[in-house]
Chains A and B, each alone.
Chain A
Amino acid sequence: MNTKRGSLLPRLTSHPGKRVLPGFALSMGVSLLFVSLVLLLPISGLVVESAGMSWAQYWAVVSDERVVASYRVTLWAALIASLFNGVVGLLLAWVLVRYSFPGKRVVDALMDLPFALPTAVAGITLAALFAENGWYGQWLATLGIKVAFTPLGIIVAMSFTSLPFVVRTVQPVLEDLPVEDEEAAISMGASDWTVFRRILFPSLWPALMTGIALSFTRSLGEFGAIIFIAGNMPYVSEVTSLMIFIRLQEFDHAAASAIASVVLLASLILLFGINLWQARYLRRLHGR
């Protein structure tokens, strides 16, 4: 479980300016070739395609009423799903690290199921569970709650597919928390809740935030799990990924690229933001 932590330690070059190990040129060549061909070349293709549109055309496509409605649905659903995962993930990580109980190893292993299960499989499974005659759907129906074919279904699909992020980012941090502060505070008579709020939570929340942000990023792009359960009604339960897909099926490549460029930009900003944020709080941990 500690594997991730070692990477936080800054490494000093043992021989500055001198490379002892072989394979620098080869691994640099392979890596650069691969990154250029597989990642950068296709992304530049999108830039070229979008640049072919005039600004007015571009704006008309990305601010189209139906497309804006899809941003709103996607953002809200991803926000609610990632916050839900924040709460549930923190609870699961806490229980997995702090307590021992029968079946713990199985529960721990199961946490990664949403990453290992193909999204299409998750999609049809959730749709079947929450259908009106499904295992969950019939109970929720008696309470008057409809999940399948509503925006609620989108939230369910996003939560499921991104659940492991929070658990797996909080878990190692929780494992490595020093016990001394906690024990000292308790022996001085602080209540459990106070110690959690004042001592444990401040150390945990950077990891928790990272987990929630990763979960949010993943939810923004989710497609496979959502389309089976969302009902995909324009203006109501249509996510942006699906919008791109629909434009493609209409053979409107320009419009699809324009919307995709918005999504791509948003996810790249999130990715770099999360990386910078992580680097900052890791440095702070070391400065201590």
Chain B
Amino acid sequence: MQRTSVHRVGEQRWVRWTLICLALGLTLLLLVMPLLLIFVEAFSGGAQTWWANLTDYYTLRAIGLTLLVAALTVPLNLLFGVFLAWLVTRFEFPGRKLLITLIDIPFAVSPVVAGLLYLLLYGSNGWLGGWLMQHDVQLMFAWPGIVMVTVFVTCPFVARELIPLMQQQGREEEEAAVVLGASGWQLFRRVTLPNIQWALLYGVVLTNARAVGEFGAVSVVSGNIRGETNTLPLHIELLYQDYNAVGAFTSASLLAVIALVTLLVKSFVEWRQARQRAPLHEQQEQG
């Protein structure tokens, strides 16, 4: 471990400090200042105005709808994510790679196109929508449509977090548990879940962050009825177009807090995983 005599690239003092200052400057300009601006604008009328804006009837309705959307989307995608990750990391079958690529589609597709896909299918002119209309079921321009597109947009997050981790951990522990007579549910709860719980948590938090913040897809299928089908991001757009910047930033500050919590959870999860892995590395180096 004698590395003191030889340096690595970019370790001279001036290079190091120039690059660090550049990176810090860019972080400040690109990330910190925008974040700061949200809160400065939201509180520009004082805390009382902020509170009044937040407890405005339409804002509260928007918060309520946004919570409903998240409450329905997150469990659904949690279930899907776990089943899919289990399938592609624990079994070999033809089409496995294709399936992994397919679930990335929502990441690649423009949110507006995502909204349009659902509108075409379930809208009153759509081939499923027409039939639903005859049975008095309206999905588009109502909250069920908002939930459906949000499920589409957020479905890869849990699976994407779980797949690399479960692949790395391998299936030996689980196979041993089966040999020892564990049932499927016992196996998942006692062996798999403890191994993946932190990645699962981060996947859920990411799904939630995107679910409460989705704009493009929701805006296509919502119909923008104030107090009825307006989620928080759509409400922000409405307020902004009404030249109520303080009101818009008040709702934005709420979503920014959710974003910050997401980042905190991510840091925490990475710290936990590093700690879980650390003893393993030491053993390997000694062995």
Listed in ascending order, the chain A residues whose CB lies under 8 Å from chain B are 1-7, 9, 11, 13-14, 19-24, 26-28, 30-31, 34-35, 38-43, 45-46, 48-49, 88, 91-92, 94-96, 98-99, 101, 103, 105, 107-122, 124-126, 128-129, 135-136, 159-160, 163, 179, 182-183, 186-187, 192, 195-196, 200, 217-218, 220-224, 228, 240-242, 244-245, 248, 253, 256-257, 260, 263-264, 267-268, 270-272, 275
Main secondary structure of the interface of B (DSSP, over half): helix
A11 CA to B5 CA in the complex, in Å?
A: 40
Q: Which of B62-86 contact A (CB under 8 A)?
A: 79-80, 83-84, 86
Q: A6, A46, A272: which has the most chain B beta carbons within 10 Å?
A: A6
In the A-B complex, the 10 residue pairs with the smallest Cβ-Cβ separation, listed nearest first, are: A118-B213, A6-B168, A221-B110, A224-B215, A42-B117, A45-B121, A116-B259, A223-B216, A95-B23, A27-B87
Closest CB of chain A to B15's CB: distance in Å?
7
Q: Which of B161-215 contact A (CB under 8 A)?
A: 163-165, 167-172, 174-175, 178-179, 183-184, 187, 199, 206, 209, 212-215
Q: B250-287: which have CB < 8 Å to A?
A: 252, 255-256, 258-260, 262-264, 266-267, 270, 273-274, 277
Closest A residue, CB atoms, query B233:
A120
The 8 Å CB contact of A118, one of B220, B233, B245, is: B233
A248 to B118: give the CA distance in the assembly, Å. 13
By beta carbon, the residue of chain B nearest A160 is: B30
Q: Of B126, B163, B214, B252, which contacts A45 at CB under 8 A?
A: B126
Selected from B9, B119, B259, the residue in CB contact (under 8 A) with A192 is B9
Complex CA–CA separation, A5 to B167 (angstroms): 10
- Cβ–Cβ < 8 Å partners of B19 in chain A: 91, 94-95, 99
Contacts of B30 in A (CB 8 A): 88, 159-160, 163
From residue A122, how far is it (CB to closest CB) to chain B in Å? Answer: 7
Chain A minimum-CB-distance residue to B177: A21
Q: Are B184 and A23 in contact (CB under 8 A)?
A: yes
CA distance A173 to B111 in the complex (A): 30
Give the Cβ gap from A154 to chain B, nearest Cβ, in Å: 14
Partner of B267 from the list A9, A31, A35, A105 (CB cut-off 8 Å) is: A105
> What B residues does A122 contact at CB under 8 A?
34
Q: Contact partner of B120 among A46, A107, A126, CB < 8 A?
A: A46
Chain A residue contacts of B6, Cβ below 8 A: 183, 186-187
Contacting residues, chain A, for B27 (C-beta < 8 A): 92, 107, 110
Q: A192-B10, A263-B113, A268-B108 are in contact. Are A38 and B245 (CB under 8 A)?
A: no
Interface residues of B in 1-47 (CB under 8 A from A): 3, 5-10, 12, 15-16, 19-20, 22-24, 26-27, 29-35, 37-38, 41
| B residues near A267, Cβ cutoff 8 Å | 108-110, 113
Which of B171, B213, B214 has the most chain A CB atoms closer than 10 A to its own CB? B213
SS class of chain A's interface: helix, strand, loop or mixed? helix
Query: What's the interface size class on B, roughly?
Result: 35 or more
Is the CB–CB distance between B104 and A183 below 8 Å?
Answer: no
Partner of B108, one of A11, A115, A217: A217
13 example contacts (A-B, Cβ-Cβ < 8 A) are as follows A5-B168, A22-B178, A31-B83, A99-B20, A112-B262, A118-B233, A120-B234, A125-B38, A129-B34, A135-B33, A244-B112, A248-B220, A271-B104
Chain B residue nearest in CB terms to A44:
B121
Residues of chain A contacted by B33 (CB below 8 angstroms): 129, 135-136
Asked if B242 CB lies within 8 Å of chain A CBs, one says no
- Interface contact B263-A21, CB-CB below 8 Å: no
Contact B212 A195 (CB under 8 A): no
- Is there an interface contact between B110 and A270, defined as CB atoms closer than 8 Å? no
Q: Are A3 and B164 in contact (CB under 8 A)?
A: yes
Contact of B105 with A by CB under 8 A = yes
Contacts of A14 in B (CB 8 A): 171-172, 175
